[in-house]
A = this chain, B = another copy of it.
Amino acid sequence: MTAAIGGRRRQRSTRQGGLVRDQLAAADGFRSAQSVFSDLRARGEVIGLSTVYRHLQALADDGEADTLQTAEGEALYRLCGQTSHHHHHLVCRICGRTEEIEGRGVEQWAAQMAEQHGFTDVGHTIELLGICGACTADGTKS
C-alpha cells in the first residue's frame, strides 16, 4: 500500500468538495451539516445535501475535521487538521466561538484511569461548554 503519500487523496477533487471545505474553513466554530448546506445554498451554490454529508464525513475520516455532537444529537464539524496533534475544545454555548485547548494532563488522567480499571484501547470524549467573555458581558443586563 502506497498509503501515506503526501496529500494524495484517493478520490477525485471536485468543485463541491472544495465548497464544503471552504465553508468549514470560513467558520470559527463548529458547524452542523444542515447549516453548511443551507449556507452554501443561500450563497447560490448548487450542491446537494447528500454531497455535503459525504464530504463532511470524508473530512472527518481523513482526520482533517473534528466532530462533536450537540445534546440534541446533531453532529457538528470543524476543520482542525492543521494542528495535527490531539486537542480538545472550549466552545461558547451562545455564540459558538471555539478555542482549541491542550489536555496533556487529561490525557494522562484518562490513561491512568483506564489502566487502573484494566481497560485497554481507551479513547475519550472531552468537550467544555461555557460562555465566552463577550457573551457574558452581553448577558449581564438581562
Q: Which residues of A line the B interface, CB within 8 A?
A: 69, 71, 73-75, 90, 92, 99, 101, 103, 105-106, 109-110, 113-114, 117-133, 136
Contact = CB atoms under 8 A, between A and B. Distances in A.
16 contacts: A69-B73, A73-B75, A99-B119, A101-B117, A105-B106, A114-B130, A118-B136, A119-B130, A119-B133, A120-B131, A121-B130, A121-B131, A122-B130, A123-B129, A124-B129, A125-B125
A75 B117 CA distance: 25
Nearest to A94: B121
A119 B132 contact: yes
B125 A113 contact: no
Given A119-B131, A119-B133, A120-B131, 12 more contacts: A69-B69, A106-B126, A113-B128, A114-B128, A117-B132, A118-B133, A118-B136, A120-B130, A122-B131, A124-B128, A125-B128, A126-B126
Contacts of A128: 110, 113-114, 119, 122-125
B129 A122 contact: yes
Contacts of A121: 130-131, 136
Contact of A117 (B90, B103, B105): B90
